[in-house]
Structure 1
């Protein structure tokens, strides 16, 4: 009873909340037991659920054209870079240069360099070379005389040694043993002289005193002898001192001198024997070194003259003057060279400061990304639109695809140009359109309608609608463009395919 009341209350609440409509039948309250058993009979019949029709696509032949857009630069097929490679001269200072765009013929002067410094260097080098040649000649003559005099020099040194030995031996034998005796005798001699002088004066005084008469002559004689006596006394005293010093000092010095002279003679003889051959060899080696230096100086003079001649820079070919070096169609150093090729500027050895461009037979150099490589091939047609002349349309074809990248992810494509290029010059840029694929009756399908197996992405398939049935069909795909993909095998024109996977394909 209690459950029945609850059901009645729920039914009443539903009636109040639901909007009243004329179509809706009145709600019938059924007991729970009856509801459980008889609900299917009393509830209205449910309408069958209608699923929306799947989205489809009808395969029809259409034109599939794939084009690649690239940026390119016009480049001369024939270019002659101009640089200098001096051997010894490095001061390449510019006076003036042919302006860019100048049309020159082979042999026309392109660059005027400062010659004053190299001319001065040439004059100095020539003078130095002449002095070196003269010094070499003198050295050769000196060696010739030395070689001639060398035997006599050794003989003379030997003779001098022998004489020194003899003199020293005489000193040892004849001087040293008798030197003391000479001192004694010299002392006795001085004493005798003094004694004789004193005796003579004494006798004169006694004689004159005895006569008690002294004339003028006798007085003079006496005075003279007295003077000689005084002088003899002084001489005796000085001589005695000299003899003492001679014995104690001078003779010792003489011994040292004689020994030194003898030693010097021995050294001179040893020196002559040892050094004379070495001196001769030194002279020969110096001559060899001078010969080497002379050859080096002569070579430098020749190279300096060649550098001087090279510094008159003339055009090696006909062409148009461009500043700098062409690098993959661009001129990255043109601005730098414009500054260097002014008065006072300097250019370096092997630096390409100019390029002579022959505009006939230009080509186009373009850079392609790695993702475009499969769409590029030799002889591929190209449409060319010069950036500076967009109304001028040119035709060309690919001549080379260089698969070694000059930069990260960039590959070089070269394109030959058909016909006249008009006002276009090397260094200008252009836009390129290359037809990678063109098929008039390609079967195209939306890429999202083509599926692949989970375990093999190369196995592709679509769902084909055939009447009331949906069939899974294997296909082979070709090129793709945008959201479409080409069906090479597995479908025919007019086939209808599903855009999404069905729930239960047959």
Structure 2
């Protein structure tokens, strides 16, 4: 079986790569020191120019699916059961079973709330429609009530009160006159009965009746005086006060209606808007809960191996926390990745390349990968790409594809390996020590050597090709056998 994978710089310990580079550099310097001659010179010769890099790498799957529940509203994610770490699953297979009793109750409540919101919106709309119809009638009613009260006050002051006062005075006068008439009639009867021949019995009857009528008239007169006083001092002033108060209240009520009725109409109109907004929110809340309920049915989006936690640039993290949360009764954190499904058929290798070697590492370069799990096994690889963006201080991404063959059965995402590269390799290069090539102080990019042999060293400009940490290929400016100084004279 064969599959294409890649290695790229990422979450790796850079000090390991740095130690490997330093080790290689020391070996080069040691060899170079052995060739240096007395007096600080070096004879330029043709030789193998080579530098090897050994990087720490980690196997990573190209195709992974992070599993996280990102609810919009529901936050309680209680685990009933979950598939085991390392188990192979098929696409669409259930990964986690969550307790849904509480969210189901919440959905039922949200559905009831939505129905209530629908009724409230309908009622607000109908109230506003009726208010629009009744508004002009209520305005006219309040205005007319104020007019009637004002008219009643005017009529009372101009007609009813004067007439009531006149009527009270006249009633009192009539009662007084009636008493006087009765008393005068009694006097006349008494005179007449003294001179006539009417029997004494008849006289007594008539006189008694007349005297009774006088008593009645006296009582009616007293009553009339009380009524007169009550009318003038109590009834009419109270009626005056009541009528004036009614007129003022009606005027105030009309002013209130004139000012507040449009406000009340606006409130009802806004009530329609608010009810519609509340209805929209209730529908949105229900939709979110239903969406969250669907999200709680966690299924594998791809076929592969289940890992607890997540991989960040090849390194697995959060496995311990996820393992505890995925036990029965555990709680998942909304939005956090607790599981990753890995397609083992798409392995890649990630490694960190020290930035000082990046210029020498090019896509297409051959590499060897030695898995830590099977150190006697070497996998051929080809560098596919190098990132232009550092992933850490001193670290640059690199990527390589390689053929795993049958060895893939022994490898898994998260396993480590060594990645060996040879960025510099030239069998017959004209080589000088890096310490013998100097940069011009006045012309940037221009290099030269100091050739020994005369009374004083000869400066000679050179062009360089490939280089290692300790050696430089001389492309132009020197010949084999010439001696160069390895440091500038004092």
TM-score, structure 2 normalization? 0.71
Question: Equivalent residue for 1:131?
Answer: 116
2:356 to 371, 375, 378: 371
Q: Which residue of 2 aligns with 1:391?
A: 376
Counterpart in the other structure of 2:334? 348
Equivalent residue for 2:30? none
Structure 1: which 5+ runs fail to align?
1-52, 208-213
* Compared CA separation, residues 460 and 135, structure 1 to 2 (3 A): same
CA change 1:502–1:438 in 2 (3 A) is: closer
Change (3 A) 1:336 1:194: farther
Query: Secondary structure in 2 aligned to 1:300?
Result: helix
Closer, same or farther: CA 292–304 of 1 in aligned 2, 3 Å: same
261-270 vs 100-109, which moves further: 261-270
Task: Tell me if the contact between 2:76 and 2:331 (Cα under 8 Å) persists in the aligned partners.
Answer: no
Point out the more displaced range, 185-194 or 257-266: 185-194
Residue 284 of structure 2 aligns with which residue?
299
The corresponding residue for 1:463 is 452
**3-state SS of paired residue (2:312):** coil
Deviation at 1:72, TM superposition (A): 1.4
Partner of 2:162: 177
Work out the CA distance in 1 between the residues paired with 2:277 and 2:484: 94
Residues 489 and 163 of structure 1, relative CA distance in 2, 3 Å threshold: closer
**How big is the shift at 1:130?**
1.4
- 1:309 is aligned to 294
Partner-residue secondary structure (3-state), 2:292 = helix
Partner of 1:262: 247
Contact 2:40 / 2:487 at 8 angstroms: preserved in 1? Answer: no
Aligned to 1:24: none
CA distance in 1, matches of 2:246, 2:488: 131
SS of 2:452's equivalent? strand
Please state if 1:437 is matched with 2:424: yes
Is residue 411 of structure 1 aligned with residue 391 of structure 2?
A: no
Partner of 2:91: 106
The answer to whether the 8 Å contact 1:370/1:410 transfers is yes
- For 1:455 and 1:271, locate their aligned partners in 2 and report how far apart those are by CA, in whole Å: 93
Distance, in Å, in 1 between the alignment partners of 2:456 and 2:129 is 118
Distance 1:472 1:129, change over 3 A: closer
Q: Distance in 1 between matches of 2:137 and 2:358?
A: 91
The 1:198/1:327 distance shift into structure 2, 3 A limit, reads farther
* Aligned ranges 1:320-359 → 2 under 5 Å: 320-342=305-327, 343-349=329-335, 351-359=336-344
For 1:93 and 1:194, locate their aligned partners in 2 and report how far apart those are by CA, in whole Å.
105
Distance 1:60 1:393, change over 3 A: same
TM-score, with length taken from structure 1: 0.69
What is the aligned partner in structure 1 of residue 13 from structure 2?
Answer: none
Taking the aligned partners of 1:168 and 1:449, their CA distance within structure 2 comes to: 122
Residues 233-253 of structure 1: CA deviation (Å, up to 9, x unaligned): 7x9879866754653344322
1:159–1:419: structure 2 CA closer, same or farther, 3 Å change rule?
A: closer
Mapped partners of 1:463, 1:415: distance in 2: 45
Whether contact under 8 Å (1:378, 1:400) holds in the other structure is yes
What are the within-5 Å matches in structure 2 for residues 229-248 of structure 1? 244=229, 247-248=232-233
Deviation (angstroms), 1:73: 1.4
Distance in 2, matches of 1:104 and 1:262, equals 87
Conserved 8 A contact 1:76-1:358: yes
Q: Deviations over 1:412-450 (max 9, x none)?
A: 111222223342211122222100122333444556667
1:81 to partner: Cα distance:
2.2
State the SS of the aligned residue for 1:287: helix
Q: Does 1:425 align with 2:412?
A: yes
Work out whether residues 453 and 460 of structure 1, in 8 Å CA contact, stay in contact via their aligned partners in 2. Answer: no
Return closer, same or farther for 1:199/1:346 CA change in 2, 3 Å cut-off: farther
Contact persistence 2:451–2:482 (CA under 8 A): no
Following superposition of structure 1 onto structure 2, how do residues 477-496 of structure 1 map, counting pairs within 5 Å?
Answer: 478-481=465-468, 485-489=472-476, 495=481
Matches within 5 A, 1:4-403: 61-150=46-135, 152-154=137-139, 156-157=141-142, 159-185=144-170, 187=172, 244=229, 247-270=232-255, 276=261, 279-342=264-327, 343-349=329-335, 351-403=336-388
User: What is the CA-CA distance between 1:358 and the residue it aligns to?
Assistant: 0.7
Shift of 1:487: 4.6
Root-mean-square deviation (CA, aligned residues, Å) is: 4.5
Answer whether contact 2:325 2:331 (CA < 8 A) is retained: yes
SS in 1 for 2:315: coil
Counterpart-to-counterpart distance in 2, 1:502 and 1:85: 66
Contact kept? 2:309, 2:318, Cα under 8 Å: yes
SS of corresponding position for 2:302: coil
Instruction: State whether residues 198 and 229 of structure 1, in contact with CA within 8 Å, keep that contact through their aligned partners in structure 2.
Output: no
Q: Deviations over 1:339-362 (max 9, x none)?
A: 44443423233x333322111131
Q: Which has the higher contact order (CA 8 A, sep 6+)?
A: 2
By how many angstroms is 1:411 displaced?
Answer: 0.5
